[in-house]
């Protein structure tokens, strides 16, 4: 129930923020040099109609990456479909003719590796946004908004690098780790990714929270509800 509630809350909030908050309530996604992570990289600004959110052009990548993630699959299959409800717990009788990921639509889960490659594009821009936010209106500053953007980029990097698919890409399909110099390098990288991978669930939840929080901070800042505390040289 907690997992279902957590996902549900994030989905409702992200849909509201990405599609409705700007066009309907006129709350900008970019303010004082901070860009909401839901909209990064910003595509089509100035040429899209007012009702079309630019988030749509980029959000499908992180959304596809998360939806097909091995951890999230386990979590939402259990939380929403009771399939299975838990380890060693019998499935409901309505699950006859079990096919799950062998047929459409769940066979599309196999696209996870493709989404992994694509996910590095917005990730790069999130780091760039955080770095660019340090310089605003011709002055350097270290604002709370920048710290939040850096924290979010860090957690999303941890989430991406702890991916099961990436771990397999680096260290999988090898019969011998010690045979050549190249395979030894791959082994060493694989060991590091394995360390991150052991905490993939934690990275998944923390980064989910951070991306929503970063968006919320920037949107509330844009409404003028509070000022961004900043250190300036
Ligand atoms: S398995 Fe979760 S992001 Fe790849």
Percent of the chain surpassing pLDDT 90: 82
* 49 backbone dihedrals φ, ψ, rounded to 5°: -65, 155
The answer to whether residue 123 sits within a structural domain is yes
Averaged pLDDT of the chain: 94
Range of the domain at 37: 2-162+199-231
pLDDT (mean) for 127-137: 97
Q: What distance in angstroms lies between residue 86's CA and the mean position of ligand 1's atoms? A: 20
The answer to whether residue 169 sits within a structural domain is no
Q: What distance in angstroms lies between residue 203's CA and the mean position of ligand 1's atoms? A: 10
Residues 6 or more apart from 20 whose CB is under 8 A from it? none
Q: What is the pLDDT of residue 99?
A: 78
Ligand 1 atom showing the smallest separation from residue 70 Cα: 1
Which tokens is 38 given?
């839901």
Which tokens is 119 given?
């996910």
Domain tally, the chain: 1
163, 193, 197, 203: which to mutate for ligand 1, most atoms within 8 A of CB?
A: 163
| 8 Å CB contact between 149 and 37 | yes
Rounded Cα–Cα distance for residues 233 and 223 (Å): 27
Rounded Cα–Cα distance for residues 14 and 29 (Å): 12
The answer to whether residue 104 sits within a structural domain is yes
Rounded Cα–Cα distance for residues 86 and 28 (Å): 42
| 8 Å CB contact between 187 and 178 | yes
Which tokens is 9 given?
């809350």
The answer to whether residue 175 sits within a structural domain is no
Give the residues surrounding ligand 1 with Cβ less than 6 Å away: 69-71, 112, 116, 163-165, 200
Percent of the chain surpassing pLDDT 70: 99
The answer to whether residue 193 sits within a structural domain is no
| 8 Å CB contact between 142 and 230 | yes
The model's pLDDT over 78-113, given as tens digits with 9 standing for 90+, comes to 999 888 888 888 877 766 777 788 889 899 999 999
Q: What distance in angstroms lies between residue 180's CA and the mean position of ligand 1's atoms? A: 29
Ligand 1 atom showing the smallest separation from residue 116 Cα: 4
pLDDT (mean) for 146-175: 96
Rounded Cα–Cα distance for residues 100 and 223 (Å): 45
Q: What residue has token string 């259990």?
A: 78
pLDDT (mean) for 41-52: 89
The CA angle 68-55-147, to the nearest 5 degrees, is 90
Q: What distance in angstroms lies between residue 139's CA and the mean position of ligand 1's atoms? A: 39
Which tokens is 89 given?
């717990």
Give the closest residue (by CA) to ligand 1 atom 4.
163
Q: What residue has token string 């951890």?
A: 71
Q: What is the pTM of this model?
A: 0.93
**pLDDT exceeds 70 at position 44:** yes
The model's pLDDT over 186-211, given as tens digits with 9 standing for 90+, comes to 999 999 999 999 999 999 999 999 99
**pLDDT exceeds 90 at position 150:** yes
Q: What distance in angstroms lies between residue 164's CA and the mean position of ligand 1's atoms? A: 5
Per-residue confidence band for 71, with pLDDT thresholds at 50, 70 and 90: very high
The answer to whether residue 180 sits within a structural domain is no
Q: What residue has token string 């590095």?
A: 120
Ligand 1 atom showing the smallest separation from residue 119 Cα: 3
The answer to whether residue 140 sits within a structural domain is yes
The answer to whether residue 118 sits within a structural domain is yes
């Amino acid at each position: 129930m907690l997992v279902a509630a957590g996902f549900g809350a994030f989905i409702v909030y992200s849909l509201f923020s990405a599609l409705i908050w700007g066009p309907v309530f006129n709350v900008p996604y970019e303010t004082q040099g901070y860009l909401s992570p839901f909209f990064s990289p910003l595509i089509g600004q100035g040429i899209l109609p007012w009702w079309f959110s630019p988030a749509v052009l980029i959000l499908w990548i992180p959304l596809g990456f998360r939806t097909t993630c091995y951890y999230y699959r386990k979590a939402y299959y259990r939380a929403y479909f009771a399939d299975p409800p838990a380890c060693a717990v019998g499935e409901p009788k309505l699950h006859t003719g079990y096919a799950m990921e062998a047929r459409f639509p769940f066979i599309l889960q196999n696209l996870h590796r493709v989404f992994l490659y694509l996910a590095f594009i917005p990730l790069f821009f999130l780091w760039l946004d955080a770095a660019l936010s340090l310089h605003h209106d011709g002055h350097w500053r270290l604002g709370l908004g920048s710290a939040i953007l850096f924290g979010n980029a860090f957690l999303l990097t941890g989430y991406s690098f702890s991916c099961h698919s990436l771990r397999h890409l680096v260290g999988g399909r090898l019969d011998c780790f010690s045979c050549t110099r190249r395979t030894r390098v791959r082994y060493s990288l694989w060991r590091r990714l394995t360390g991150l991978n052991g905490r993939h669930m934690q990275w998944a939840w923390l980064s989910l929270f951070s991306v929503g929080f970063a968006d919320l901070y920037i949107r509330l800042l844009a409404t003028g509800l509070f000022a961004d505390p900043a250190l300036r040289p």
